[in-house]
A and B are shown apart, each in its own frame.
Chain A
Amino acid sequence: MKIISVSKNFSPFPAGRTPADGPNSGQRFRDEFLVPSLKVGPVCIILDAEGYGSSFLEEAFGQLIPKGFNEEFLLKNLSFETDDETLVDEIFGYIKDEASR
Chain B
Amino acid sequence: MPRLACSTFAFGPKLTKVYEGLLNLSQILKHATLAGHPGAYMKKSVLVKGIEIQRRIAHRRWWLRHLETRRKLARRGKGSISTLKRKAGPEKNRKNNAWFDYEAPVVMDFDANKENTLAYFDGLHSSMRERGSRIRLLFQQLRSISSEALIYLLGQIHLLQEKHGKQNLTGCYPKSRKIEHLLNESGFFGLLNIKKRKVAGKKTGSTRFITYKTGNKLQCEDIPKIRNELFGDDFEMPSHVKKEVYRALSEAMANVGEHAYANKAVSAKSLHGRWWIGASMSLRKNIFSLTFYDAGVGIPKTLPRRYNMELIRQALSVLPLIDPDDGAMIHAAVELGRTRTGKENRGKGLLDLHRLIDKINDGKLTIISRQGWYKYRPLRHQSGPMTGFLEGTLISWELPLTKSVNQLIDIEISDLELEDENNISV
A94 to B342, CA, bound (A): 12
Question: Does B239 have its Cβ within 8 Å of any Cβ on chain A?
Answer: yes
Question: Does A98 have its Cβ within 8 Å of any Cβ on chain B?
Answer: yes
A15 to B222, CA, bound (A): 12
Choose, from A1-9, A28-36, A47-55, A71-79, the stretch at the interface: A47-55
The interface residues of chain A, by DSSP majority, are classed as: loop
A15 to B340, CA, bound (A): 20
Pair A84/B352 contact, Cβ less than 8 Å: no
Question: Does B220 have its Cβ within 8 Å of any Cβ on chain A?
Answer: yes
Pair B345/A98 contact, Cβ less than 8 Å: yes
Residues on the B chain within 8 Å of A63, using CB: 345
Give the A-B contact count at a CB cut-off of 8 A: 79
The 8 A CB mask of B236-257 against A (1 = contact, 0 = none) is 0001101111110011011001
Interface size on A, residues (CB 8 A): 25
Question: Does B223 have its Cβ within 8 Å of any Cβ on chain A?
Answer: yes
A36 to B244, CA, bound (A): 29
The interface residues of chain B, by DSSP majority, are classed as: helix
A21 to B220, CA, bound (A): 11
Pair B254/A21 contact, Cβ less than 8 Å: yes
Pair B349/A16 contact, Cβ less than 8 Å: no
A56 to B247, CA, bound (A): 10
Q: How far is the CB of A53 from chain B (nearest CB, A)?
A: 4
Pick from B239, B242, B243, B343 the residue with the most CB of A within 10 Å: B243
| Closest CB pairs A-B (n = 10) | A51-B246, A22-B218, A13-B220, A51-B243, A15-B250, A53-B251, A54-B348, A15-B220, A51-B247, A53-B250
Residues of B in contact with A (beta carbons under 8 Å apart)? 217-218, 220-221, 223-224, 239-240, 242-247, 250-251, 253-254, 257-258, 340, 343, 345-346, 348-349, 351-352
6 residue pairs A–B, Cβ–Cβ below 8 Å: A15-B254, A17-B346, A21-B254, A51-B244, A55-B349, A62-B345
15 new A-B contacts at CB < 8 Å, known A21-B257, A22-B220, A54-B247: A16-B250, A16-B257, A17-B258, A22-B254, A50-B224, A50-B242, A51-B242, A51-B244, A51-B250, A52-B243, A55-B254, A55-B346, A58-B346, A58-B348, A94-B345
